[in-house]
Chains A and B, each alone.
Chain A
Amino acid sequence: EAQVTQNPRYLITVTGKKLTVTCSQNMNHEYMSWYRQDPGLGLRQIYYSMNVEVTDKGDVPEGYKVSRKEKRNFPLILESPSPNQTSLYFCASSYRADPFTNEKLLFGSGTQLSVL
Chain B
Amino acid sequence: KQEVTQIPAALSVPEGENLVLNCSFTDSAIYNLQWFRQDPGKGLTSLLLIQSSQREQTSGRLNASLDKSSGRSTLYIAASQPGDSATYLCAVRRTNAGKSTFGDGTTLTVKP
Contacts and interface: CB of A to CB of B under 8 A. Distances in A.
A105 B97 contact: no
B81 interface: no
A50 B98 CA distance: 7
A43 interface: yes
A110 B97 contact: no
Interface string A75-116: 000000000000000101000111110111111111000000
Chain A, interface size category, equals 20 to 34
B31 A98 contact: yes
Interface in A65-83: none
A107 B52 contact: no
A11 B104 CA distance: 25
B51 A48 contact: no
Interface of B: 31-32, 34, 36, 42-46, 49, 51-53, 89, 91, 93, 97-105
Q: Which 6 A-B pairs have the closest CB atoms?
A: A43-B102, A97-B97, A42-B104, A107-B44, A104-B46, A109-B43
